[in-house]
Structure 1
Amino acid sequence: MARKNLGDVDIQPSSQPCELRLVLLGKTGVGKSASGNTILGRDEFKSTLSFRSITKQSKKGTAVVDGKTITVVDTPGFFDTELSEEEVKTEILQCMVLSSPGPHVFVVVIPVRRFTQEERDAVRKVQELLTDSAPEYALILFTHKDQLENKMKIEDFIAENEHLIELVRKCGNRYHSFNNKNTEDHQQVTELLTKIENMVALNGGQYYTNELYQKVEEEIQQAQEEIIMEEDKQVQKEQEDINKEEESLQQSMKAIMEQEERYTSHGGQKSGPEWKKLQSLKENSEKEMKELAEKKKDSNKKTEDEKNKAREKAEKSSSCLKKILNLVVAVPTGLLLGAMVGLATAVKLAASMIKVPGSIIGAAGLGSTPVLIAGGVAAATAATLGGVIGAAAGVSAALEADGPMEAAKTTVSDILEIARNKIKEVENMASQQSI
């Protein structure tokens, strides 16, 4: 069965999603956490004016904003974080867990300030990540627009830099700006959400997903089911207790009604003390029945709440995250981040990049013969290309393997198969050039 590329997007039809999931992306110190707080209308994420990363772990916050449930996932600066590679890998997957089954929008956060080489590098990295279908789910959020000088408009700021022009164009000219100092200005949040909803409508109401997101969602649902099964024992006991209480009250009410009938059939007066006692018992039973009905209603609602709580526990479960990490243990961080935002497998990329064949071994990714990339725009060695191909095969194998050992075996097999195909491809190209 042919595998799907990591960039393949499955359509999830929904005209009006009941929840909007936003993932904030950007380098450290650009205002991701502050913007997340502005959107949610509360201090959900720790934020400070610093170029050091305050957000060390991906975190999720949810609130009802303008009548719609909004979930925001704040992320560390994946591009320049002080975390180790393994920690970054963990946080990439944690971000995916928190935004699963997939975000409706990747919000790329860029500050309004002097555009240094560091800023240009960050924009370039974002552009490299937003490939395939991901730009259709991306929006640029410019922060600190209060720092614009001389009544400058955000459009003027964009126009000053070709890198920003290209990034905005790539994201379908979708952008917004925040005055992070004026957090009381809710209109800027309303306008942002309107732009996002318009984008979602253009995408057919669907959220972004790919093979990796689908695998993450499968693991979450499995963990959720295990938690529900464990806690369901208590819920079942509560339901059984309610049913027993209901049966007991029904029997009591039936007995009272029978006493009433006997009393009146023997000529008893409806104003006598015995009658009043029966009426008091009847009123108490009716009251208890009403209370039990409310208790039953609350129990049913509690079952739904428990399901939602089980989902939250599954998302925070270290065992669930560990299981997902085991699947991609051998995958380089850069490729994993690309997989999250839709970077197609490097196998597909490599096939389109080779323009001038070297030796058969080199072009197969098994040697060091130079090859030209993207028509001569950049150069790399075939050994590097081989590494990229191997990493891509590692991602794909990890998604289908039961664990890291099986993934490693599958990766080796896949690389050999790719190498054979590349050898055939280069042989054909070489024979055509010799004609």
Structure 2
Amino acid sequence: MDKEIVRGLSVSPLGVHAVLLVVPSDLTFTEAQQVALEEHMNLFDAGIWKHTMVLFTYGDKLADKSIEKHIEREHRALRWLVNKCENKYHVVNNMKKSDMSQVTELFEKIEEMVAGNNGRLYCPDMNDVHHRIEEKFRRRQLKNVLKQELEEEYRRRELELMINFKETLLALQADKESVTST
């Protein structure tokens, strides 16, 4: 997935004006999603956040509640995300797909973000990004090896305990038999 994200950003060799993080408003954005998102975003330098906006989908599921109330009442991970994006967000009502004003408003917000960034494009150093991906892959491999070794050690100790327990039970059974036969 990391390579696919990087490929998406590298389609434009000069850089991008906007990165949209799509978040369905009808699902809870939890710490698990926050951690996953941070891992992906950490492939790039911190400057990416100045060019990032949250795009909430399924705005129709909010009913009468405003997106601000939704953000306020949701898990703190969602508030973290909105804060990270400097409160840049937009809501799309999926039931009004033909309402082009939603798209127009989104583009207006993107233009505001571009103006706030003085028209500068976000262009990551792809060598650094690829290095971070390789490093992340190595850490994940090491983690898997350590996890496997830990599981093997756990199984070995469990087997050892079971053997010791069996020996203790047999010894107790032998003691009991010798006591009852005398």
TM over 0.5: yes
The 5 Å alignment of 1:75-154 reads: 78=1, 89=3, 91-115=4-28, 119-128=30-39, 129=41, 132-149=46-63, 151-154=64-67
Q: Aligned residue for 1:193? A: 107
2:121 to 184, 188, 207: 207
Measured after TM superposition, the shift of residue 100 of structure 1 is 2.5
- Pairing 1:352-363 to 2, within 5 Å after superposition: none
State the partner residue of 1:157.
70
Query: How far did 1:92 drift?
Result: 3.8
Identify the residue that residue 332 of structure 1 maps to in structure 2. Answer: 134
Q: How far does residue 330 in structure 1 lie from its aligned partner after superposition?
A: 10
Q: Deviations over 1:198-225 (max 9, x none)?
A: 111111101101221899xxxxxxxxxx
For the residues of structure 1 that align with 2:132 and 2:20, how far apart are their CA atoms? 28
In the TM superposition, structure 1's runs of 4+ consecutive aligned residues that sit over 4 Å from their partners are 328-331
1:144-167 deviation digits (Å, cap 9, x = unpaired): 011114x11111111112111111
CA distance in 2, matches of 1:184, 1:191: 14
Secondary structure of 2:97's match?
A: coil
For 2:81 and 2:11, the matched residues in 1 are separated by 26
**Aligned-partner SS, 2:8:** helix
SS of the residue corresponding to residue 50 of structure 2 reads: helix
Distance (whole Å) between structure 2 residues aligned to residue 147 and residue 192 of structure 1: 19
Structure 1 pair 331–165 and aligned structure 2 pair: CA distance change class (3 A): closer
CA distance in 2, matches of 1:113, 1:186: 22
Pairwise CA distance, 1:122: 1.6
Q: Where does residue 163 of structure 2 map in the other structure? A: none
Q: Give, as a single letter, the amino acid of the residue that structure 2 aligns with 1:143.
A: T
Structure number with bigger Rg: 1
In structure 2, relative to structure 1, the CA distance for the partners of 1:183 and 1:334 (3 Å cut) is: farther
Alignment match, 1:255: none
TM-score, structure 1 length as denominator?
A: 0.28
- Does residue 175 of the first structure (1) align with residue 94 of the second (2)? no
Q: Give the counterpart letter for 1:192 in structure 2.
A: L
- Which residue of 1 is the match for residue 98 of structure 2? 184
Distance 1:329 1:134 in 2: 17
Query: What fraction of aligned residue pairs are identical, expressed as a percent?
Result: 31
Change (3 A) 1:207 1:147: same
Q: Report the Cα offset of residue 197 of structure 1.
A: 0.5
Structure 2 distance, partners of 1:143, 1:166, is: 18
TM-fit CA distance, 1:97: 3.4
Taking the aligned partners of 1:202 and 1:330, their CA distance within structure 2 comes to: 28
2:86 aligns to what SS in structure 1? coil
Do 1:110 and 1:141's aligned partners in 2 also have CA atoms closer than 8 Å?
A: yes
| Cα 1:211/1:330, change in 2 over 3 Å | closer
Q: Quick one: distance in 1 between partners of 2:22 and 2:104?
A: 17
Distance 1:205 1:213 in 2: 24
Higher relative contact order (CA closer than 8 Å, sequence separation 6+): 2
Tell me how far apart the structure 2 counterparts of residues 142 and 206 of structure 1 sit (CA, whole Å).
25
Q: Deviations over 1:250-284 (max 9, x none)?
A: xxxxxxxxxxxxxxxxxxxxxxxxxxxxxxxxxxx
Relative to structure 1, the CA distance from residue 334 to residue 107 in structure 2 (aligned partners, 3 Å threshold; closer, same or farther) is farther
